[in-house]
Every structure is written in structure tokens, then in C-alpha cells.
Structure 1
Amino acid sequence: MEIVHERAAGIDISKRDAKVAVRKPGQRRGTYRTEVKTFGATTAQIRELIGYLNAEKVSVIVMEATSDYWKPFYFLMEEEQLPVILVNAKRARNIPGRKSDVNDATWLAELAAHNLLAASFIPPEPIRHLRDLTRARSAVVHDRTKVYQRLEKFLESSGIKLSSVASSLTGVSSRHMLDALVAGERDPQVLADLSIRSMRRKIPELVEALEGRFTEHHAAMVKLHLHHIDTLDEQLRVLDQMITEAMIPFDQACKALETVPGIGKQTAQVIIAEVGVDMNVFADAAHLASWAGVCPGQNESAGRQRSSHTRGGNVYLRAALGTAALAAIKYKESFLAARYRRLYLRSGGSRALVAIEHTIIVAIWHLLANGEVFKELGPDYYDQHNKDRAKSRAVKELERLGYEVHLDSAA
């Protein structure tokens, strides 16, 4: 097999140290030897490793994406402009039965020498900072949802069935009633009268739901939960402000993405944080869709096509695309909604939704790569471009309902 890199390094990283294998030419022509050393994971020790790699004059350095332990190694080497690449551990598996840190580092160096590993996508530093913020916001939203769920479960022990009447405990009316309960109010009629707007139509049901055995112990516990929620809300406000400031250089890209049906401001922020704005790292829209995990995998053996599920892509990007797709199909007079309805009939809801996610990510690539403007094709796009098929489908549907159809051209 052709050797692309005469001097290659493979690094197997753990929390405390890293095994570094350097593959280099041996004393005899055409032979190679591998030297393995161990370096610590502190900044000073990583700088020592960088000096060692510079002295060895390696032309490629490969490391596995092991948890978050690769980050200090990668970022320091990136600052020193070393030829470092990060690879997916699944694509660099060693032979079964030979698993050890030293063997893994040696195997990485061997694969790197033959250029058999594809580099993972690592965005530039401004995008990484934005990604940290959007992922932190996602984590805080998740934590807040968990606190509301714990609060709802705890209210059951007091006999307060507020969540059975109110659609959510996150609403203003629900918060007014909970605050009043904590403050000592126990009269269901007074509590129900604190509701506002549409909730006032449910006052009779609220009076029944708010009658329970709410004690001082329950009040203390609910107060803790509400304080926790308020703290998380404040964190979200701070994060939103930081994200807004970090998005200033990418404002035009954000506005372009918001023209796609289903993509709001926060969804656009997450998409930019996960894929960046430079589409040169993806050869075409199909590569981006594959990386995002919104296209079928390939699973063929002996000439037979087997089940090909979508690959597991970036979970944050998949979540954003799922949110966008669910919102897009609600625009009834849109191309995406019409496409979803067509695919739903023959493929089912889940596959149709993934297809909409694929359509959206392809549109995103064109918007960011070519500076194109999203053009709404309209709900009748397919029928206008496939009139014979639309006619045949309509005739079959009428015949299925028991009608005999005769078609005449309009004058």
C-alpha cells in the first residue's frame, strides 16, 4: 500500500496522559519503525509533546475523539500550526483482541501514514465559542424542563391537580397561583381568580383542582423548585445576550437562514453554531446532509440492499432540523408542507419528516455556499411539473371511491 506520510504520529488520549506513537523510516531502506512514548495531559506536558513532534518532523498527527480529553491537545497543536487531525474512533478501530493504549496509538500512526483516515469537522474558534453558548443554552432549557417535571410530580403528593387543568406549569397564570400557595393562600376560589386571559374560562375546573392538602412542607419544597426555575431563567437571559453578541459577525447568514420556512432565530443560531458559515469544508450539499445524519445509510451485501437507517449525526443539529421540519409542515401553503403530505402517504410520518429535514439542510448549504436566496416553490410545484402523474393519481382516487371517470380537455 502506498505510503503518503514518511513520518506520522498517532496519539491515544486518556484523562491523565497520552500514548504517542511516531512511525518513521528505519535504518534500512524501505523499512519503518515505531517509537512509543507517554506524555501527561497538563498544558506544560502537552507543550513538551509539541516540541517532541516538531523535533521528529512528522507530517501528520492523528488523534481519536475521546470524550473531551482531546481538546487541550488539539487546540494547543492547532495554535502551533501542527498538521493535526481529529478522527472518529469508530473509523479507526484496531483488530479485535489487540486492544491496548500502545497498540491503539501504533495503529493510528499506521493508518495515518497511508492516509486512510478522514478528518472530523472542527469549526474555527469563533464558531466554537458560539457552539459552547448554544449548547449551554440547550442544557439549561433541558434542566429547566426537568425541574418543572419534578415540581409537577411533587404537587401530586399535595392533591393539587393544577397541571390537569392548565396546559403547562410554565404559564403566567400557573405561576401566580403557585406563588400564592407558597405565600400561604389556601382558598381555591381566591387562587383560581388569579388566572388571566384564556385561563379564566377554566375557573370552575381550577377551583376543584386547587383543593388539596397543601401544607407548610409543600410550600417550602415548591418555593425551592420555583427559586431553581428563576435561577435557570436568569441563566437563559444571560446566555441569550451572550449569543446575540457572538452572532454579530454572522448576522447576514442568520437572516438568510430565517427565510427558510420553519427556521426561527434560535434555530438559525444553533445551525450556524454547529455547521459554521464556510461551506467549503463540505464538498456539496449531499456531503453536509450525510454529515448531519439526515440521509439513508448504505448497507448492501451480495447484491442485496438491506435496511439502511439514517446515520447518527450531530445531535444538536438533528434536533434543530427536527424543530424546523415540524414547524415547516404547519405552513399549509408551502412547498415543504406539500412535500411532507406526498411522502407521508407512502412512507409514513417519521420518514417523511426526515425527508423534510434533508430538504432543509440542502437549502441551507446553498444559502451559505452560494449566497442564494430561498425561493418558495409553492404547494402546487409537483402537480405543475408532473401534470400527467397528478392527473393519474386523481383519477385513481376517484375510481377507488366508486366513480367512473371520463376526462375532457378544457376549452
Structure 2
Amino acid sequence: MQIVYERCCGLDVHQKTVVGCRLLSQQKGTVEKSIRTFATTTNGLMELDHKASFIPPKPIRELRDLVRAHTHLMQERNRHMNRIHKILETANIKLSSVVTDILGKSARQMLEALIEGESDPVELAKLARGRMRPKMALLQQALQGHLEPHHRFLLKETLAHLDFLQLRVGQLEQEVAERLSPFEKSLALLMTIPGISRRSATILISELGTDMTAFPSAAHLASWVGLCPGSHMSAGKRRNGKPTKGNRYLRSVLTQIAWVLTRMSDNYLSAQFRHLRPRLGEKKAVVAVAHSVLVIVYHVLAKGEPYQDLGPDYFRKQDKEQQARRFVRQLETLGYRVE
């Protein structure tokens, strides 16, 4: 059997005909719609000549499936950790108010002792190790609760499932690391961008690949991801500028990168956030920074060159006259006269 298209999105070739519908947004806000009917024979599919959705190469698709599975496992792991917090809070045990990591060595031993039936706060606090030892008095207060038998059962089952999830996460990380070996150069390039860790770079490559020729420009990529303003106009008026849904995995990781950048102060992207926040607000400024990160990712992968930062003082240099006018207004508000 001849393979006409290796992978199709939304085309049911088991039918006698295929109806192709294409929607193209125009600059004035209108939408051009074209519909054609094609046969599902080989000749008919060849006549389709339809620009389908972005489909990365097979190695990238396989990597994407593994990385997404890893993401889901990590989310499930976090949900089970939250369940442990909830069980302890229900029993009036405030361990999380003293312990930073509920699954650390000290906290894990305390949880296992609670499951075994130990209820004396003094004995439980003695299980503290290292930097937890000076907090024994606080631990004794936090461990004064009423743990019922069903609480112990739930803790035991949740910890067992967490151990299982941790094992699966480790296996997936090993498999992902092996499949990432051909993309080490691209990973290194992406990690030159502030705020991008190896984990973030892995998600970016698994969703986008390394070949940016699939997207004519960075603007097309931003539209596909869903990090550009939407276009909804009626009677010549713009009704809504909300972004499209796009790729939720990419939007999530890019937004996380943007939030990391808000805590930095030594690069252009963090300066962009502080420049936009007074006018747009914090959340919209984060989305704008996430868009800028995506544009940078596009050019870094397309050119194969490391990121060159414009510096944290970029906007201050650009807005000298605007700053001068603002300072004059502030001085005049205070009663000074500036000539």
C-alpha cells in the first residue's frame, strides 16, 4: 500500500470523500473560507495539496509523547503530595508549617512513624535530621494532632503510590535523556536564553522540533502557539484581543519561564516585564514576556546562534526623554519649578 501522507489531522480516509475546509484571517479582520471535496483514492488525495497542521518529524513526535507523559506524571505526583498535606491538616498536624519538603528524609521518617502508630510528638520530633534538629520545639507543637486509623491507611496508600510514581518518572527521564542526545546542541543554544532551564528547553524542543522552516516567521509561530493577540472585529470595531488556545504545553512552559524572569534583574527580558507592568498589569506583562521568549527561541533555533542579550538598561536608554518629562511632572507636583 502506498503511503500518500504519513500523518493526517482530521481526515477520515475511510470515507468515500474528504471535505477540506480552510479558514484564513485577513488583515481587516474578515475570514476567508474555502471548502472543497476530494476523493479518498490515491489520485484524489494527491490533488488535495492541503497545508495541514504542523506535524514535526517522527523522532520529535516520539520525544513529544515521552515528555508529555513525564509532565502528566509530575502533575499526578504533585496532586498526591497535596493529598498528604490535606490528610495531615485534617488530623490537625501542621507538619508542613515547619518542614519545607514533606517528602524529605526527616519528614518521610515522621510520616512512616505516624503510619506505624506512633503519636507522641516528642518521639516524632526526635526523628529530625540535620538542619531540622534546631526546630525540634516547633516540630513538637506541629505534630500534636489526632491521627485516626483511616488517616494512617490513607497516608500509607498515598506514600506507596508516590513511590511508584517516582519510579516511573525516573524511567521516563532516562528514556527522554537517551532520545535527546541528537539535540544537545539545540538544548545548549536554548539554555543561553535567561530563564530557560534544561527541563524547559526539553519541552520546547519536543513540541517545536529544531527545524523552524515549518513556520514562515516568528509571528506565525506565535499565532500557532497561541501567544499573540486575537482578531475579533465587527462593524470596524475591535471586540476582543484574547489570544487563541494554541498549544497548551508550550503556553504553559513559556509562561513559567516568564514568571521566572520576573524575579531577575540582569537581562533584557526582566527589564521588559518591569517596563510593561505599570501599563498592562502584571499578568498581561507576563504574557508579553512569554511572547518575546518564543520569538527569541524561533530566531535562536533558526539561525543556530546563541542568544545575545540587549542588557537590563535597554529601555532606560530608549526612554530618556520620557523619563525626563515624568521627573519634571513629579517635581512640579512637589511644588518645584523646573525651567
Task: Tell me the TM-score normalized by structure 1.
Answer: 0.71
Matches within 5 A, 1:333-352: 333-352=266-285
CA separation of 1:20 and 1:155: change in aligned 2, threshold 3 A: farther
Q: Structure 2: which amino acid aligns with 1:154?
A: I
1:211 positional shift: 1.7
Corresponding residue of 2:73: 140
CA distance in 1, matches of 2:311, 2:134: 39
Contact 1:152 1:163 in 2 (8 A): yes
What per-residue deviation string (whole Å, max 9, x for no partner) do you get for residues 347-398 of structure 1?
1011100010011000000000011221122211112233212322333344
Residue 311 of structure 1, aligned match among 219, 244, 269: 244
Contact 1:292 1:317 in 2 (8 A): yes
2:46 corresponds to 1:59: yes
5+ residue gaps, structure 2:
1-7, 20-35
Corresponding residue of 2:300: 367
Q: Structure 2: which amino acid aligns with 1:143?
A: E
1:325 positional shift: 0.7
CA separation of 1:250 and 1:310: change in aligned 2, threshold 3 A: same
Contact 1:11 1:21 in 2 (8 A): no
Corresponding residue of 2:17: 21
Contact 1:289 1:362 in 2 (8 A): yes
Partner of 2:15, secondary structure, is: strand
CA distance in 2, matches of 1:175, 1:149: 15
2:151 corresponds to 1:218: yes
Corresponding residue of 2:120: 187
CA separation of 1:312 and 1:399: change in aligned 2, threshold 3 A: farther
CA separation of 1:398 and 1:272: change in aligned 2, threshold 3 A: farther
Mean alpha-carbon deviation: is it higher for 168-177 or for 226-235?
168-177
Structure number with greater CO (CA < 8 Å, separation at least 6) is 2
Corresponding residue of 1:247: 180
CA separation of 1:216 and 1:378: change in aligned 2, threshold 3 A: same
Q: Structure 2: which amino acid aligns with 1:305?
A: R
Q: Which has the larger radius of gyration?
A: 1
Identity, % of aligned pairs? 39
Partner of 1:221, secondary structure, is: helix
What per-residue deviation string (whole Å, max 9, x for no partner) do you get for residues 50-76 of structure 1?
xx723x553245xxxxxxxxxxxxxxx
Q: Structure 2: which amino acid aligns with 1:297?
A: G
Residue 293 of structure 1, aligned match among 222, 226, 230: 226
CA separation of 1:327 and 1:403: change in aligned 2, threshold 3 A: farther
Residue 404 of structure 1, aligned match among 333, 336, 339: 336
Task: Tell me the TM-score normalized by structure 2.
Answer: 0.85
Residue 149 of structure 1, aligned match among 82, 106, 120: 82
Q: Structure 1: which amino acid aligns with 2:287?
A: V
CA separation of 1:384 and 1:10: change in aligned 2, threshold 3 A: closer
Residue 276 of structure 1, aligned match among 209, 223, 243: 209
5+ residue gaps, structure 1:
1-8, 24-32, 37-51, 62-82, 86-117
Corresponding residue of 1:76: none
Q: CA RMSD in A?
A: 2.6
CA separation of 1:357 and 1:218: change in aligned 2, threshold 3 A: same
Matches within 5 A, 1:76-225: 118-225=51-158
Contact 2:275 2:315 in 1 (8 A): no
Q: Flag as ranges the 4+ runs of structure 1 deviating above 6 A.
A: 33-36
Q: Structure 1: which amino acid aligns with 2:171?
A: V
Contact 1:123 1:275 in 2 (8 A): yes
